Amino acid sequence: MAFADIPIRENGQKIDSSWWNTIREKLVETFDLENLGQNEFTILNNQSTSQNITGLILDSTQYISAVIRYDIFRLNEAPTELREMGYLSCLWNSTTDTWTIARRIDCGVDALNMGANGLTVVAASGQIQYQTDDMGGVSHEGYIRYKIITKFVD
């Protein structure tokens, strides 16, 4: 359906719920509003040195703190599945020109199996990074889905 197919309303007409539903469905279809701002990045198995999560960079010129909602999923052929959901609280310190983050797992287990090293930030650049353990097996899939839900400006 095209936007032009949405019926035109006039003042005084009875409101038909299907008219509103048509608009909602078209907006969701066109702009993917249910996942607006959500990003996904592939996580590799057995990464003992920090790897960049491309696209997830904190910008101190735009905001001084942020809250990021995330979902991490890992699976091998065994099948062993690891999953966690949580928040990253991010804070810019203008005196030291560094970012710090705090990771809070709300549901699941430490899916990266790396404790405090699982998700880190390069203090000066704001680049979020990850590390993972070796899940074993020959095939592995993993991702992090994230969404910056709040930014605070100075």
How far is the C-alpha of 100 from the C-alpha of 76, rounded, in Å?
32
Answer yes or no: are the C-beta atoms of 104 and 35 closer than 8 Å: no
The verdict on whether omega for the bond into residue 7 sits within 30 degrees of 0, i.e. cis, is no
How far is the C-alpha of 26 from the C-alpha of 23, rounded, in Å?
5
Handedness of CA 68, 120, 84, 105 (dihedral sign): negative
Question: What is the pTM assigned to this prediction?
Answer: 0.76
Question: What is the pLDDT of the chain when averaged over all its residues?
Answer: 87
**8 vs 42, higher pLDDT:** 42
Residue ranges matching CATH 2.60.40.1680 in the chain: 39-152
User: In the 8-state DSSP scheme, what is residue 118?
Assistant: S
Residue type present at position 63: Y
77-117 pLDDT, tens digit each: 999 999 999 999 999 999 999 999 999 999 999 999 988 88
The CATH code belonging to domain 39-152 is 2.60.40.1680
Q: Evaluate if residue 56 carries a pLDDT over 80.
A: yes
Report the 10 Å Cβ neighbour count for 21: 10
The pLDDT assigned to 21 comes to 76
**Token pair for 19:** 């008219």
The pLDDT assigned to 15 comes to 62
pLDDT-derived band at 6 (thresholds 50, 70, 90) equals low
20-34 pLDDT, tens digit each: 777 777 776 766 555
The pLDDT assigned to 100 comes to 94
